[in-house]
Amino acid sequence: MEYRPLGRTGVQVSPLCLGAMMFGPWGNKDTPDSIRIIHHAIDAGINFIDTADVYSGGASEEIVGQALEGRRDDVFLATKFFMPMSEDPNRRGGSRRWIIREVEDSLRRLNTDYIDLYQVHRPSPNTDVEETLSALSDLVRHGKVRYIGSSSYSGSQIVEAQWASRERNLERFVTEQPPYSILVRGIEEDILPTVQRHGMGTLTYSPLSGGWLSGRWRQDSASAPTSSARPSARFDMSSPANQRKLDIVEELARLAEQTGLTLIELAIAFVINHPGVTAAIVGPRTMDQLESYLPAADITLSIDVLDRIDELVAPGVTVNPDDNSYGTHELTPGAR
C-alpha cells in the first residue's frame, strides 16, 4: 500500500482510513471480533484510524484503545468531538469548556497519552471559531493533541477558520473531513479546491454513499433500509432522486463488471483516485466487509472509466440533495 502526504504536515498515511463507527453497539457488538478487524487492517498496511467520541456512546473509542495496546505507534489516530454526549446542553459543541473536558475522556477511552488528529465533528453556528481554535491550540501546546482538523465544513467556513488561525496566531486545521462518493460529488465544486489551496489533507467519509454503492439496494430489491439511524429522506425508494440513484447504480455495476472490478472496488477507487483526496474512510462492520474494501487501495481507474462515471453523475453534482451532510445552516427554517 502506497502512503500519501497528509496535507503539508509531513505525515504519511494510507489511502484507506479505517473508520471505527461500526465497532460497538451501533454495529459489531462483538468486541474481540472488532479488535481482530482492526488488527487485520493494520497488518494489511492501513496506518490511519478515525473514530469519534459519540460513536456508540464512547464504546468505539474504547474498542480502538484496546486494539492499539502495544501497537499505538503503528497508527495515526484520529477522533472527533462536538456531537451531544448526554442531555446536558454543555456536554456538546465547540466551546472551550467542552473541548478541554472531552479531550480527557477521549484520551482515557483510547488509552493513549495523545491524539494525532483531533477534529471538530461539525461547524457550530453558535460558537466563535476563534474560541474553538484557541482551545485546540492549547491542547497542541500541552502535547495532548498533535494536529487539529474540521469535518463537514463549507468552503467559506474553511477559509474563515484558516484566516482566524493566521490572524490570531492559532493552530490551523490541517484536514477537512467531508462526504464524497460517485453519488455525492458536491464537494468537487468548492470544498476540494478550497482544501487544496490551503494545503490541507482531505479525509472523505461514506465512499459507498451509505451502502448505495455496495450493491445492497438494486432495482430488483429496492426495499428501504429498516435502521432508524438512517435518515428517511435519503432512503425513501419512492422519491425521484433515489429512483435515479437506483438507475445509476445499475449502470455502475455494469461498468465495474466490464472493468473487472466489484462495484465496491470501483466506488472506493473513484474516491481515492481524486488528486484532492488524501484518504477514504471505510467503516467495516465485519471482516468480510474489510476484505472487500482493501483491493481498492491499489486500483487506478482509467480515463475512459472516469469519463463514463462523469456521464452518469456530472462533476460537482449530488444526485439526491438530502445526501449533502455538510456545510452551513443558513437555509434551515430557523435561520430563514
Judged by DSSP in three states, 148 sits in strand
What was the pLDDT predicted at 228?
46
Measured between alpha carbons, how far is 222 from 34 in angstroms, rounded to an integer? 30
What was the pLDDT predicted at 227?
46
Measured between alpha carbons, how far is 36 from 16 in angstroms, rounded to an integer? 17
Closest by CA to 106, choosing from 140, 141, 67, 55, is: 55
Cell numbers representing residue 49 in the block: 484510524
What was the pLDDT predicted at 224?
55
What was the pLDDT predicted at 237?
77
3-state helix, strand, coil in the chain (%, to 5): 45, 15, 40
Phi, psi of 65, deg, nearest 5 = -60, -40
Q: Are 188 and 264 in contact (CB under 8 A)?
A: no
Q: Report in angstroms the alpha-carbon separations of 7 from 67, 114, 168, 173, 212.
A: 27, 20, 22, 10, 29
Q: Over the stretch 232-289, which tens digit does the pLDDT of each residue have?
A: 677 777 789 899 999 999 999 999 999 999 999 999 999 999 999 999 999 999 999 9
Q: Report in angstroms the alpha-carbon separations of 212 from 10, 101, 229, 311, 316.
A: 35, 37, 15, 18, 18
Strand spans (E) along the chain: 4-5, 12-13, 16-19, 48-50, 76-81, 115-120, 145-151, 173-177, 201-204, 279-282
Residues of the chain with pLDDT under 70: 217-232, 327-330
What was the pLDDT predicted at 231?
52
Q: pTM of this prediction?
A: 0.93
Measured between alpha carbons, how far is 149 from 172 in angstroms, rounded to an integer? 8
Closest by CA to 19, choosing from 42, 52, 43, 45, is: 52
Contacts of 117 (CB under 8 A, 6+ apart): 50, 76, 77, 78, 79, 145, 146, 147, 148, 149, 174, 175
Torsion angle defined by CA atoms of residues 112, 118, 122 and 123, in that order, rounded to the nearest 10 degrees: 140
Q: Are 236 and 186 in contact (CB under 8 A)?
A: no
Judged by DSSP in three states, 284 sits in coil
Q: Which residues are catalytic?
A: 55
